Chain A
């Protein structure tokens, strides 16, 4: 069933639940759905992760290839993140070039990885000015039940943590693990009638006015933020959200990434 036009009755229902401190699936406002991650699921990829966040399902593949560096970063590898809101994932997704939602989410995911310095790009240099490793992170959404952003980010980090740089195969030295030095985790909250809820489900995403994503690092610092949607947030809401997001990020990191 398409979620594009949600009925007023449904919106009211979600709003009324909120007034009673409840959510549709029985979670508390700051509860995240069950997470399942499997890595090394795609042989042909240098790294991969299959992640389920509730029923939202995403497959992230990491491909590493030899390429030429950007002129202004001659000794650094290159990260390219792309996301497909694949039409298999939802009746609302159409085949065709990515639309603004997909592009936004991909860029937010990319920013988190890039700005956190999660990948040590200097270690991805083969010959300065001539050859570097290009890391392609391809996010393939398989089933949308809300909060693709967080699932995609978590999947991307999980895939990177278990990726191998194929030096041997490409004849440029030996294989090495992807040089990771941080684990940024994205946490998204939505505003429903003034209340902030973590990890929105599908209906909550459709019913909300505003969405805020905060990407934080191992030391609690922030490497990315994005407010989305046509509503507005107060400063107080924003600061609370940031604090909660950092706390939850470290919980997720501990539960799912440290021992991957």
Chain B
């Protein structure tokens, strides 16, 4: 599939109704705002090669405590904006002076973004099922723009990764991935993730990674794409890892690949 690299200020369309994310309209024409790849599904949009994570309500994030106040934990969410977890959003009742014992500076947690106001004040919550402080495992950092690749078509990639490596995986929209298993399994999963990052543009990636994890050298041709889809068991228990909205959005947009 053709992918065109575009740059800021580049003319993308003479028709202003084509304007999608990453573009702007001037004198009725559409121009790119970003250095990235042009995407022409529905509207014309530009996906940047790199960029910071900008928090959005509903997103799942993996965060690190950078401060504790009498009523809030302050979290680094790998963004220009920090997040606040108010003590009332913690699943249990906590005394002010006990807060640091539960999570102190340096602690990591799985959280969800409850709200972002116009001044970019980010409110976090730990009340959803599966959200919790993280005492074990590793956190891997990747460019936020590539997170959908880790999730995959209908959650296919992350499910396959879980199955093949026997690890727990939680994917944060903020470019962080938490994994847990035994050391060898985590090392393997880490390698797989690095491979995904490197080849995120290619199609047939899910099988390719699956083969890698099986230790096979052959690269499966694209025709075989559908075969492995049957093998995949989409884990319906994993609601907290892939929210429905993301799954649907990812589905719509990964039509041509995998």
Contacts and interface: CB of A to CB of B under 8 A. Distances in A.
Q: Is B a genuine binding partner of A?
A: yes
Interface of A: 1, 5-11, 13, 16, 20
A7 B78 contact: no
Contacts of A1: 78, 141
Contacts of B141: 1
Interface in B116-173: 134, 136-139, 141
Interface stretch (B13-21, B102-110, B239-247): B102-110
Given A1-B141, A13-B138, A8 B107 contact: yes
B76 A9 contact: no
B257 to A, nearest CB: 29
A5 B106 contact: yes
- Which residue, of A5, A6, A8, A20, has the highest number of chain B Cβ atoms within 10 A? A8
A10 B76 CA distance: 14
Nearest to B76: A5
A163 B137 CA distance: 51
Contacts of A6: 106
B64 interface: yes
Contacts of B183: 16, 20
B66 interface: yes
Interface in B23-77: 64, 66, 76
A8 B106 contact: yes
A5 B66 contact: yes
B141 to A, nearest CB: 6
A45 to B, nearest CB: 33
16 contacts: A1-B78, A5-B105, A7-B64, A7-B106, A7-B139, A8-B106, A8-B107, A8-B108, A9-B108, A9-B134, A9-B139, A10-B139, A11-B106, A13-B138, A16-B183, A20-B183
B216 to A, nearest CB: 24
Nearest to A4: B66
A6 B107 CA distance: 9
B109 to A, nearest CB: 10
Contacts of B134: 9
A7 B104 CA distance: 10
Nearest to A2: B76
B138 A9 contact: yes
